[in-house]
Structure 1
């Protein structure tokens, strides 16, 4: 019996704590909702700063308040602060407990991404929104717009990449042409140097020929004589012909003297044959 009383006391205490906790949660929820309503009124009157403050109070009272986070994101969207809006909408997705809440959060995420010209990412956001509410025609329309935008951006990126490749190839060709021109100039310079060396050699040779001593010139003359054509076998050399002519002249002179002597004796003789 004693143990039963103890359990009853403990159960009563826990129940009391649960009731108090529920009351605190209900009170926080009520305050949060009041701040959300206040923020909505400020936002409708274009008092964006006051609306933002009200939504922040709602979140502080109830951090899981999807309405507070979602509406705060909308305030950032109107203020043009898309980065902060995107952050708050992602929080709303995590805090959402129903498909409709997730659908609205993803839909607005797509809108923010389109404002930031992140079309490819917006396509995925709208797809997620339609997964939670396939019957929303507005989301379906936005998805089609996002797809067209993403395709256009892809084509533009491809064109830019092609242009960059062309520019890079042109730069490489220009650099190669410049290197080839430098090589050609170097070759021409080497040819000019070689031609100058040849001209210098010819000039030095002429000077050497002019400055040679007489003995060297005689040697050159002797070399030229040595280089004259030599008689072939069966032919007389110029010296042999000269000796033969002299011998013929001597013989003719002897014959003539003999004829003269015979004339003196009165004896006729035959004339010598011509050679």
Structure 2
């Protein structure tokens, strides 16, 4: 029992010593952080905003939850036009600050940073939060009115752009439809012309068939029969040639005989004169 008690007492003593040492270290770090903040403030007053930012960051490295260091760092970044980097510092202050005036100032600066980046919706929300914590701040109220006006103008512009885009898409869709209709009409016209040509060709073919069909085959045969065949040279046999020659001689004899008889019949008889 005595041994357990001694161990407990020893443990408490060690813990107390460690806690006291930690408190001493924490106090030293806080003093160092405050010193860096004062240094940063002097640089800030001299408009050395980059060096002031370095001093405030060193202060925060020694004391992470040092609200003044965060808020002042945000101001230094804002002065250097690093608006997006300043926002987290103001937001941290707005979240951790215990008094409403400090919160109102942090939200006011958040609104200013959003205005610089043309985030008008963010600015309107921030200014409203600032007025919730300090309703009597006329500067914040004025900034809110300006931000709201710019936001309305932006929304109207976006609406007009959207309507224009929709109109352009509709016009393009209508144009595509008209082009497609024209293309279909051309295709239908070509197809109709092709069909009409095919029908005409078929009709012409049937007319030729009907013409051939209406022709009298007997008439053609009779015509062919009446047509006398022409003699073909070099196709007569020697016997046929002999018979032809004899026939020609006989005809010639008959012709000569007729001529002689006609000549004799027509001869005048000499008359004796009676005197």
Regarding TM over 0.5, the answer is yes
Q: 1:190 to 1:177 in 2, by over 3 A?
A: same
Q: CA deviation at 1:22?
A: 4.6
TM-score (normalizing by structure 1): 0.69
Answer with 1 or 2: which has the greater Rg. Answer: 2
Q: 3-state DSSP class of the match of 2:186?
A: helix
Partner deviation per Cα, 1:55-76 (whole Å, 9 max, x = no partner): 1011011111111111111222
Q: 3-state DSSP class of the match of 2:216?
A: helix
Partner deviation per Cα, 1:140-190 (whole Å, 9 max, x = no partner): 111111111111111111111111110111111111111111110111011
Structure 2 CA distance, aligned partners of 1:180 and 1:217? Answer: 59
Q: 3-state DSSP class of the match of 1:211?
A: helix
Q: CA deviation at 1:217?
A: 9.5
Structure 1 CA distance, aligned partners of 2:81 and 2:49? Answer: 11
Q: CA deviation at 1:124?
A: 0.8
Q: 1:10 to 1:187 in 2, by over 3 A?
A: closer
1:96-245 equivalent positions in 2, closer than 5 A = 96-212=97-213, 214-215=215-216
Q: CA RMSD in A?
A: 2.9
Q: Which deviates further from its counterpart, 200-209 or 83-92?
A: 200-209
Residue number in structure 2 paired with 1:40: 41
Q: CA deviation at 1:30?
A: 2.4
Aligned length: 217
Q: 1:99 to 1:206 in 2, by over 3 A?
A: same
> Which ranges in structure 1 are unaligned for 5 or more consecutive residues?
219-275
> Which ranges in structure 2 are unaligned for 5 or more consecutive residues?
220-275
Q: Is the 8 A contact 1:65 1:95 kept in 2?
A: no
Q: 1:216 to 1:159 in 2, by over 3 A?
A: farther
Structure 1 CA distance, aligned partners of 2:217 and 2:118? Answer: 97
Q: CA deviation at 1:112?
A: 0.6
Q: 3-state DSSP class of the match of 2:77?
A: helix
TM-score (normalizing by structure 2): 0.69
Q: 3-state DSSP class of the match of 2:98?
A: coil
- Deviating 4+ runs (over 4 angstroms): 6-23
Q: CA deviation at 1:201?
A: 1.7
Q: 1:123 to 1:176 in 2, by over 3 A?
A: same
